[in-house]
Amino acid sequence: MIGEKKSLFSGMQATGNLTLGNYLGALRNWVTLNEEYECFYCVVDEHSITIRQDPAVLRKRARALLTLYIAAGLDPEKNCIYYQSHVSAHAELAWILNCFTYMGELNRMTQFKDKAAKHADNINAGLFTYPVLMAADILLFQADVVPVGIDQMQHLEITRDIAQRFNGIYGDVFTIPEVYLGKVGAKIMSLQDPTKKMSKSDENANASIYLMDDPDTVMRKCKRAVTDSEAQILYRDEQPGVKNLLDIYCACTGKTADEAVKEFDGKGYGELKMAVGESVVAVLKPLQDEVARLEKDKAYIDNIIKTNAERANYVATKTLRKVQKKVGFPERIR
Ligand code: TRP
């Protein structure tokens, strides 16, 4: 709780390109959350270097992500959108929390096991303590709710465990965060395997529509989407490919599944795919135009980066000072 409102924290990595699934399923629905919550959206560049990065690429992508959030409608006056590395309290609290986290707990993290297997030549200590930095992110802002996908649930659980352990020793220091279960958007599946979620890390580029895909690319990917041989456009689980296309169409047009099924009655898959592609372009084009406009306005974005980091820094430092005092660090002389 910060001030009057409950607080919401979300961290996002600037590695990989956001997909239509990220947008329709999450980002787009966050625009109005600031009415109910004090919202913090952090570009977690410190987490990104647990995997080796090209510095220039990381810097560019971090800025692109921050710009995209604003282009998507998150008002930077009402939401705090900032870089993790600009607020040193993240790293400082992470150190303290490291001392309240057990090796055994971290050893159970499935994401660590997956990433360690994938990057066997660079199993660094940061990769191992990644969840502790994530706990620090969340707890610094006394977040009541954290919107995360299923893949991050284990990290949210360990965050709660660490917070409860700390509170058990020192009293009520941290808010215990819950997963955000508010209005969730459409769940968009892969265009190539509609039983799998559309993912930014899919190796098959045709499986995902990226937010920055140009119209031709969007149309091509939609045309190549996997369907079935039933030759009928119905909204049902037995036809996951067609169902996914209808979900995308509905999410982009605001129509209901019933309306869409009526509209495509008697039509072929080719027509459906064209219509889906066009509906996606109609959503992405204004977003891309807004990104392009903002990218040109360097001073405006720079100012947001500065002022939002200041605000994040203020809130985070307040929690950090409390924690430092609790664990016995000497008081600052002012
Ligand atoms: N680990 C998250 C991911 O890869 C990103 C993240 C970092 C995060 N810190 C966070 C998400 C805090 C929510 C809250 O998706």
- pLDDT tens, per residue, the chain with 334 residues: 667 899 999 999 997 789 999 999 889 989 999 999 999 999 999 999 999 999 999 999 999 999 999 999 999 999 999 999 999 999 999 999 999 999 999 999 999 999 999 999 999 999 999 999 999 999 999 999 999 888 899 999 999 999 999 999 999 999 999 999 776 678 899 999 999 999 888 999 999 999 999 999 999 999 999 999 999 999 999 999 999 999 999 999 999 999 999 999 999 999 999 999 999 999 999 999 999 999 999 999 999 999 999 999 999 999 999 999 999 999 999 8
Report the alpha-carbon distance of residue 334 to residue 332 in Å, rounded.
6
- On whether the CB atoms of residues 272 and 264 are closer than 8 A, the answer is yes
Q: Name the region of 9 (left: φ>0; alpha: ψ -120 to 50; beta: rest).
A: beta
- Which amino acids are annotated catalytic? 115, 197, 200
- Nearest residue to 109 via CA among 117, 121, 100: 117
pLDDT tens string 237-259 = 999 999 999 999 999 999 999 99
Encoding tokens for residue 20?
A: 């239509």
Whose Cα sits closest to atom 7 in ligand 1? 11
> What is the reported pLDDT for 96?
98
> What is the reported pLDDT for 1?
66
**CA 147 to ligand 1: nearest atom:** 13
What is the distance in A from the centroid of ligand 1 to the CA of 12? 5
Report the alpha-carbon distance of residue 45 to residue 41 in Å, rounded.
12
Report the alpha-carbon distance of residue 71 to residue 228 in Å, rounded.
36
H, E, C per residue of 245-312:
HHHHHHHHHCCCHHHHHHHCCCCCHHHHHHHHHHHHHHHHHHHHHHHHHHHHCHHHHHHHHHHHHHHH
The three-class DSSP label of residue 231 is coil
Please, which residues bridge with residue 7 across strands?
Answer: 38
Report the alpha-carbon distance of residue 101 to residue 82 in Å, rounded.
27
What is the distance in A from the centroid of ligand 1 to the CA of 224? 32
Residue owning tokens 């990644």:
130
- Cβ burial, residue 50 (10 Å; 0-12/13-18/19+): buried
What is the distance in A from the centroid of ligand 1 to the CA of 121? 23
Whose Cα sits closest to atom 12 in ligand 1? 11
Whose Cα sits closest to atom 15 in ligand 1? 12
Please give all residues whose beta carbon lies within 6 A of any atom in ligand 1, as ranges: 9-13, 44, 47, 134, 137-138, 146, 148, 152, 155
**CA 151 to ligand 1: nearest atom:** 15
What is the distance in A from the centroid of ligand 1 to the CA of 220? 32
Which of 130, 146, 152, 197 maximizes ligand 1 atoms within 8 Å of its Cβ, making it the mutation to test the pocket?
152
